[in-house]
C-alpha cells in the first residue's frame, strides 16, 4: 500500500517548503552571497581567529563556533556584508538568540514607523 506524503495547506509538504525557499530568495537576494568565495574566506578566517562561541563564552560555557554572524545586520549592503563586524557563534545561539533579537528589532522598527497594526 502506498503512503501518501504529508500535506500542508492542501499541498505536499515538500512542495510548500520549496515555495517558501523561493519566496525567501526573491525577498532577500543577498542570501546568495553566502555561497561566494569571498564569504567562505571571511567565514574561514573568522572561525580560525575565534573558534569558540562568543555568547556561550560570556555565560561560562565552552562551545565550538560553527556560524559567523554579522554583529550589525547588513540588510543587503555589500560593504557591510563583507566588512563586518563579525562574531563566531554556535548554531544554537545563532538560530535562537540572534534570530529572536533580529525579529524583535524589526518589530520595533515597524512599530516606530507606524506599520503593521
Cell numbers found for residue 86? 563579525
Q: Are 47 and 39 in contact (CB under 8 A)?
A: no
pLDDT higher than 60, residue 46: yes
Count of C-beta atoms within a 10 Å radius of residue 54: 17
Cα–Cα distance for residue pair 38/25, rounded to 1 Å: 20
C-alpha cell at 36: 561566494
* Mean pLDDT value across residues 82-87: 96
Asked if residue 85 has a cis previous peptide bond (ω within 30° of 0), the answer is: yes
- pLDDT computed for residue 10 by the predictor: 64
5: cell is 506524503
- pLDDT tens digits for range 53-70: 999 999 999 999 999 999
Name the least confident of 5-9, 17-21, 44-48. 5-9
What are the extents of the domains in the chain? 29-113
Query: In the predicted model, is pLDDT for residue 24 greater than 60?
Result: yes
Alpha helices in 1-117 (DSSP H): 13-27, 37-49, 54-58, 78-83, 91-92, 99-113
Per-residue pLDDT band at 82 (split at 50, 70, 90): very high
Q: Which residue has the higher pLDDT, 10 or 33?
A: 33
Confidence check: pLDDT of 85 > 70: yes
Amino acid at each position: 500500500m502506498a503512503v501518501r506524503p504529508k500535506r500542508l495547506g492542501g499541498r505536499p509538504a515538500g512542495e510548500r517548503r520549496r515555495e517558501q525557499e523561493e519566496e525567501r530568495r526573491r525577498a532577500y537576494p543577498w542570501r546568495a552571497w553566502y555561497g561566494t568565495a569571498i564569504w567562505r574566506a571571511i567565514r574561514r578566517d573568522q572561525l580560525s581567529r575565534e573558534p569558540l562561541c562568543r555568547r556561550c563564552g560570556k555565560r561560562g560555557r565552552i562551545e565550538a563556533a560553527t556560524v559567523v554572524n554579522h554583529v550589525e545586520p547588513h540588510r543587503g549592503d555589500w560593504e557591510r556584508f563583507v566588512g563586518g563586524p563579525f562574531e563566531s557563534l554556535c548554531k544554537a545561539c545563532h538560530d535562537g538568540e540572534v534570530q529572536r533579537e533580529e525579529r524583535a528589532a524589526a518589530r520595533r522598527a515597524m512599530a516606530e514607523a507606524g506599520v503593521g497594526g
